[in-house]
Amino acid sequence: MAAPTPLRHVAMLPFMAKGHAMPLLHLARLLLGRRLASAVTFFTNPHNAPFIRAGLVGAGAVDIVELPFPSEDALQSTDELPSSTHLVDFVSAVEALGPAFADALTALEPRPDLLVHDGFIVWAKDVADELGIPRLVTLGIGGFASYIYGAVMTHALVRSPTEPFPVPGLPDLRITKADLSPPFDDPEPAGPHWDFVCQSCSSMYSSSSIIANSFSELESMWAIRPLCLTVPEPAVQSKDDHEILDWLDSRLAMDRPVLYVAFGSQAELSRAQLEEIAVGLDHSGVDFLWVVRSKWFDPKDRFSDRFGDRGKVVEGFINQLRVLSHKSVSYVYLPPNEDNKGSNHPMSC
């Protein structure tokens, strides 16, 4: 069979969140590494550009175009949001990049054969349609979770928030309204969040295809492979990465297996929840690496030195793929939407 003709130029527009950008960074490496594309151009903003550049080191013919926010003081990444309750407002603010993106996409040479954009950036549809550029939409979640979001609205006939109801197409799965977060728990959803959901769905289902972040062993889909496996051995990028790897190496040398615990960059945990987790880890009897966010703590209320040599607590974003591939990590706890691809460890969600 003849090799497919490579695309001359692919444009990519990730949402301004690391968990959304990373699959696109991996996809760019796959396209270039397999010579399925001759060149890739990423669009991002100034605050996210360093992360995008670091993720594309050695990838090949990649260009990065920075789109300026109207105000330099504006929040430019979900990392900067004080709470996930501000997400919909941030999505709306990102729309201000639309005119600059349209101008930059129009000026690209050679003209892109394809635009791959995040499902949260609904206005990219109009720009691509006006220029006649085919587009694919990416999701930061798998196909199953995406389907559930669209199917659960059948709960409108359920009276009690704890009354189980079947999910259409999945007769063996029963959930309750109490299992759902707003606006999906409302029989008659309305408001800005629901408007965003509807616009995002319209953008996705009118695209040429949807790229889900998944793999065939997890769910039946047309799978390429876990995109994270296209990335070469991750490079150490920060002081925290150095310290984490040194600590994991020391556990391996002592034959002490490590439990890795992370809740993702957008989770909201109360002080009471953090304390419960801390108590559980303290009583677990195993060494552990726990990734937390600084905004979960008061300035004088952290867990530093609480666990001694047995536990390591790290604040901020880390190279998770490198941690998951370390031989000392034997157990993993991640939330359901968090990425455990590239790991063969027992996992709890």
> Which overall architecture, per CATH, does domain 239-348 show?
3-Layer(aba) Sandwich (3.40)
Residue 224's pLDDT is what? Answer: 62
Whether pTM > 0.85 for this model: the answer is no
Task: Tell me the pLDDT tens digit for each residue of 274-296.
Answer: 888 888 988 888 999 988 876 66
Task: Tell me the pLDDT tens digit for each residue of 32-79.
Answer: 988 989 999 999 999 899 989 988 888 888 999 999 887 777 788 887
DSSP 8-state class, residue 18: H
- CA of 266: how far to CAs of 147, 175, 295, 309, in Å? 21, 24, 11, 28
Percent of the chain having pLDDT more than 90? 26
Q: Which residues pair with 204 in a beta bridge?
A: none
Q: Is the dihedral of CA 339, 19, 235, 242 positive or negative?
A: negative
Task: Tell me the pLDDT tens digit for each residue of 203-250.
Answer: 888 888 888 777 776 676 666 656 766 666 554 466 677 888 999 999
The span from the CA of 52 to the CA of 48, in Å, is 6
Task: Extract the tokens encoding 184.
Answer: 């999906």
CA angle 257, 263, 269 (to 5 degrees): 125
Percent of the chain having pLDDT more than 70? 82
Contact 59, 41 (CB under 8 A): no
- What are the DSSP calls for 165-206, one per residue? EEETTEEEEEE-GGG--TTTT-SS--SHHHHHHHHHHHHHHT
In the chain, domain spans = 10-144+183-230, 239-348
The three-state DSSP-derived secondary structure of 252-302 is HHCCCCEEEEECCCCCCCCHHHHHHHHHHHHHHCCEEEEEECHHHCCCCCC
Q: What average pLDDT does range 115-119 have in this prediction? A: 94
| Assigned fold of 10-144+183-230 | Rossmann fold (3.40.50)
Q: Of the spans 120-124, 221-225, 333-337, which averages the highest pLDDT?
A: 120-124
